[in-house]
Amino acid sequence: MQPNAPVTRVVMNRNIMPLVFQSERFFREAWPQISQSVESGTDAASDVQWIAGVVGLEASARVLDAPCGFGRHSVEFARRGCDTTGVDFSETELGRARKAAGEAAVSLALECQDIRDMEFSSEFDLAVNLFSSIGYFSDDEDRLVLDRFWRALKPGGAFVVDTRNRDQCVRSLPPEERMRRGSSTIRVENEFDPTTSRWRARWWRLKRASAKSAEGPPELIGESEIRLYSAHELLHMLRPERWRKVELFGGLDGTPFSLDARRLVVVAWK
């Protein structure tokens, strides 16, 4: 660690399951309030272009995007002519995805479902799990989710997982982050538990009456908890022996994976 690097608060020995349910509540109640602001800084079109290139995606391919959130990647796959299915357990986010599809004049199949309960079987040419959407359950349930994706793919299909690189995050995670969104500031307080590799975040909204006024009192939006995986852990959970080929990248742009890569992207072919 660099001498002047910020030190993230370390917490230990928590009961994991209450935090798992806490994260579920966060994504049902709090995340729809801020998702479009938090995710707006990434370019879904370029993400999808890179994914399509690396897996050799055909225009007629069937694509599963789960969880799909408000549909930014689903819409881009549909723009390419793909038969796209988005799954999410938030009706609010799915409503936004329907609106986005309508505005883009594309067709999406959207299902309100917990990704742990997906029962697709050999239906898709590509399945994607993007924007750090793995790790919000127990380790056993995360394995179950990965199994669900494997089952959903046709033979020869590809699976793309995009999440935070645990080894980079633990060395650089600041104790606090701020994102300005119009008249509001989103403040995120970070904690990391090295005994479980779980990252806890408390999300606050600070509003201003005008651009020049002082920030008002903070409003707690919610709390989230995610299990961060190192590359070898995620590969082990994927059970690489059942995949024809597995490759690692450091981002959805083909950046080589390394200890210092911010993202961990796994591309696996069934």
Give the model confidence (pLDDT) of 238-268 as tens digits: 999 999 999 999 999 999 999 999 999 999 9
Mean pLDDT rounded to a whole number for the chain: 86
Q: Look at residue 21 in the predicted model and tell me its pLDDT.
A: 40
Closest Cα to residue 59, out of 86, 87, 78? Answer: 78
Q: Look at residue 212 in the predicted model and tell me its pLDDT.
A: 66
Closest Cα to residue 151, out of 117, 175, 202? Answer: 117
Is CATH 3.40.50.150 what the domain over 42-165+230-269 is classified as, yes or no? yes
The residue-averaged pLDDT of 70-79 equals 96
- The ranges assigned to domains in the chain are 9-37+167-227, 42-165+230-269
Could you read off the pLDDT of 2-23 as tens digits, one per residue?
434 444 443 333 343 334 444 5
Q: Look at residue 15 in the predicted model and tell me its pLDDT.
A: 40
- Angstrom distance (rounded) from CA 24 to CA 58: 34
Could you read off the pLDDT of 134-156 as tens digits, one per residue?
998 999 999 999 999 999 999 99
Owner of token pair 């020869």: 156
Could you read off the pLDDT of 153-200 as tens digits, one per residue?
999 999 999 999 999 999 999 999 887 766 778 888 999 999 999 999
Could you read off the pLDDT of 24-66 as tens digits, one per residue?
666 666 666 666 566 554 689 999 999 999 999 999 999 999 9
Going by their DSSP bridges, the two strands 176-181 and 219-227 should be labelled as unpaired
Owner of token pair 């750090």: 132
Could you read off the pLDDT of 197-226 as tens digits, one per residue?
999 989 888 887 666 667 778 888 888 889
Q: For residue 174, what are its two tokens?
A: 């600041």
